[in-house]
Amino acid sequence: MNSLGDTIRFFVTITTELTILFIVISTMVAFILAYAPDEKIRGFMADKGIFGNVIGALFGALTPFCACSTIPLTIGFLQAGISIGAVMSFLIASPLLNPIILGMLVALMGLRVCVAYFIIVFTGSIIFGEMLEKTGAMSQVKNVRLKNGCYVDGKDAPSTGRKEVLLRSFTIALNDYRGILGYLLVGVGVGASIYGFMPEEIVLQYAGPTNKLAIPFAAAIGIPLYIRAETAIPIGISLMQKGMSIGAVVALIIGGAGMAIPEMSMLSKIFKKKLMVAIVTVIFSTAVIAGYFFNYII
């Protein structure tokens, strides 16, 4: 076990790094989205075939970072007549591939891990969308309407100067940071405690590379814990330093961010039971497959 001083240094260092990452990347994304041609993106997503799924997944990787934005956008896409395949590709990619997660993975696990993670999840979201398109999942969509969602388009921003847009983007980033700060501090705090005081033998026994059940178990426990990726990544880093396999860490991140109970509850207002089961099954399968793949290549 590490000393109390090491534990405190871990907490301060990781919190500082993730804070800077979040604010910088969030500002950049908000600035880009202010100029994003919304109608053109919707037009691309409306295209038939797998190209619409690809655009949906790419757009999902750039959208804001919580269900507060993703769910209203999903309803809006459905009401606009965009194919269920493209919508589902967007819905899966949005919580799992946003720039904050990718930035954290690069900073804490390296570029190789980030690229592999992106390819697996991005490909999975496209394939899942195409599968749903072919199996007629549109019949599993409830008749819902967007009332007072908390997503604001705000495409009038580019009519002002770039400095004003950049300042507003920075303000948006700070507001987003306040929204996830509690999750971030909990994640880093738990991670620091694991780093400082959990014996390596326990982690190796139950979540090490030799335990073949560690990956599906890690994917499953992410669901009831409601661990956002901002929370899961610092915890995963600590567990990796104690001997947890990288595959189990990746499965934990995908399971926690992709199948969190609050998001699933909100989606149940949009989709019928069969489609909800399909979403959970595919995300869980993606988490497990990605976990075993990571253990194989890294």
Q: What is the pLDDT at residue 227? A: 57
Residue 42 is predicted with a pLDDT of 66
- Is the model's pLDDT at 156 over the cut of 50? no
Name the 3-class secondary structure at 34. helix
Q: pLDDT band at residue 149, thresholds of 50, 70 and 90?
A: very low
pLDDT score at 157 = 47
Q: State yes or no: pLDDT of 287 exceeds 70.
A: yes
pLDDT, average across residues 276-290: 87
CB-based contacts of 210, cutoff 8 Å, min separation 6 = 204
- Domains of the chain, residue spans: 4-297
26 SS3 class: helix
Q: Does the pLDDT of residue 158 top 60, yes or no?
A: no
Instruction: Give the model's confidence band at 122: pLDDT under 50 very low, under 70 low, under 90 confident, else very high.
Output: very high
In sequence order, what are the residues at sequence separation of 6 or more whose Cβ sits closer than 8 angstroms to the Cβ of residue 166? 27, 31
Q: Quote the percentage of the chain above a pLDDT of 90.
A: 2
Average pLDDT, integer, range 265-294? 86
Q: What is the pLDDT of residue 235?
A: 75
The residue that leads in pLDDT, 118 or 75, is: 118
In the predicted structure, residue 225 carries a pLDDT above the cut 60:
no
Q: Which pLDDT belongs to residue 262?
A: 64
Mean pLDDT calculated for residue range 154-158: 47
pLDDT at 146 over 60: no
Phi then psi for residue 140, to 5 deg, are: -95, 10
In this prediction, residue 41 carries a pLDDT of 66
Measured in whole angstroms, how far is the alpha carbon of residue 127 from the centre of its chain?
17
Q: What angle do CA 6, 11, 13 make, to 5 degrees?
A: 90
Q: What is the mean pLDDT of residues 214-230?
A: 71
- Reported as a single tens digit per residue, the pLDDT across 50-60 is 888 888 888 88
Return the pLDDT at 155. Answer: 46
Give tens-digit pLDDT for 240-279. 777 878 888 888 888 877 776 667 777 888 888 888 888 8
